[in-house]
């Protein structure tokens, strides 16, 4: 996998456990250049915790070319980031969108009790931002470029505990298909990577520990996937080797999504 001469923007790195960082590392180690955004820090946060968490990672790479804050709920802020990207890179070859959020109170309650404001917040951050960022990227994307976002199996089937975020992921996956159509005439591909449970900041909020045990017993491969495996697949979707793929939801979950029964987990239960 080669990214020599490729340039792009990575949205959504929070710390070294972020899937976005696993993907960005693969790209940079293959010769690509990346610009990064981070969550804005509060004005009273003199330590700039959000920026520092990401800069501790990007500072180690010469081809991490810039790191700037972005509030994805503000169109002006999104445009500022893409204007800066154009100033630094000219045209870009890839865009990685790894942005999602739901209020913890809404995640922890049954879906039927999701608040109206919480629903709007989760959909705005987790879904609409992909549309907004794709629109901002459109004028500076090279033909043959690629856009990728992050989803999860909870958007396809009911995963208790994932709740309102599952609804958001279903909407996100539909958005991928429509954006793939819109960006197709420009030669730009739009796909989503559906990773199995991984220990990330977002994963902890969604009860990832219980899911790790379940996947280990149910997935055809009989194990969980690693950050590196997900990173390599994400880089594949953003690189030339996936040039014929668009509108796809690509699972990296050890095959869990293919199961229609508990499989070998049922065998274990029956022997007890």
Confidence (pTM): 0.94
Which is catalytic among the residues 162, 178, 181, 215? 162
Rounded Cα–Cα distance for residues 185 and 120 (Å): 31
Instruction: Judge whether 162 counts as a catalytic residue.
Output: yes
3-class secondary-structure state, position 145: strand
The confidence score (pLDDT) of residue 14 equals: 93
Confidence of residue 217 (pLDDT cuts 50, 70, 90): confident
Which is catalytic among the residues 61, 128, 152, 178? 152
What is the 8-class DSSP label of residue 126?
A: I
Judge contact between 238 and 246, C-beta under 8 A.
Answer: no
Residue 148's DSSP bridge partners are 96, 191
pLDDT tens for 34-70 read: 999 999 988 777 678 999 999 999 999 999 999 999 9
Structure tokens at 52: 């520092």
The confidence score (pLDDT) of residue 51 equals: 94
Is the model's pLDDT at 209 over the cut of 90? no
CATH architecture of 7-270: 3-Layer(aba) Sandwich (3.40)
- Helices then strands, each counted (H, E), the chain: 11, 7
Judge contact between 41 and 48, C-beta under 8 A.
Answer: yes
Confidence of residue 202 (pLDDT cuts 50, 70, 90): low
Is the model's pLDDT at 88 over the cut of 60? yes
Is the model's pLDDT at 112 over the cut of 60? yes
Is the model's pLDDT at 269 over the cut of 90? no
**Average pLDDT over every residue of 118-138:** 98
Rounded Cα–Cα distance for residues 82 and 72 (Å): 12
Instruction: Judge whether 61 counts as a catalytic residue.
Output: no
């Amino acid at each position: 996998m080669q990214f020599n001469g490729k340039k792009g923007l990575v949205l959504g790195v929070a710390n070294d456990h972020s899937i976005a960082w696993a993907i960005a590392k693969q790209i940079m180690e293959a010769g690509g250049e990346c610009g990064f955004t981070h969550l804005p820090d509060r004005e009273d946060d003199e330590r700039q915790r959000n920026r520092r968490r990401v800069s501790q990672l990007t500072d180690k790479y010469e081809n991490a070319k810039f790191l700037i804050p972005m509030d994805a709920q503000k169109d002006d802020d999104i445009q500022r980031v893409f204007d800066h990207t154009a100033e630094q890179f000219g045209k870009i070859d890839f865009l990685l969108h790894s942005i999602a959020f739901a209020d913890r109170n809404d995640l922890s309650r049954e879906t039927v009790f999701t608040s109206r404001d919480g629903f709007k917040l989760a959909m705005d951050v987790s879904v609409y931002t992909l549309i907004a960022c794709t629109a901002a990227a459109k004028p500076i994307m090279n033909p043959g470029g690629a856009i990728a976002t992050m989803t999860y199996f909870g958007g396809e089937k009911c995963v208790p505990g994932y709740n309102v975020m599952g609804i958001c992921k279903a909407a996100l996956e539909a958005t991928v298909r429509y954006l793939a159509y819109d960006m197709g005439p420009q030669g730009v591909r739009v796909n989503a990577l559906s990773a199995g449970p991984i220990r990330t900041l977002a994963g902890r909020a969604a009860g990832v520990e219980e899911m790790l045990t379940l996947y280990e017993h149910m997935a055809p491969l009989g194990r969980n996937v690693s950050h590196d495996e997900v990173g390599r697949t994400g880089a594949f979707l953003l690189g030339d080797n996936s040039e014929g793929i668009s509108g796809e939801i690509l699972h990296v979950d050890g095959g869990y999504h293919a199961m229609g029964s508990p499989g070998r987990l049922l065998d274990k239960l029956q022997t007890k």
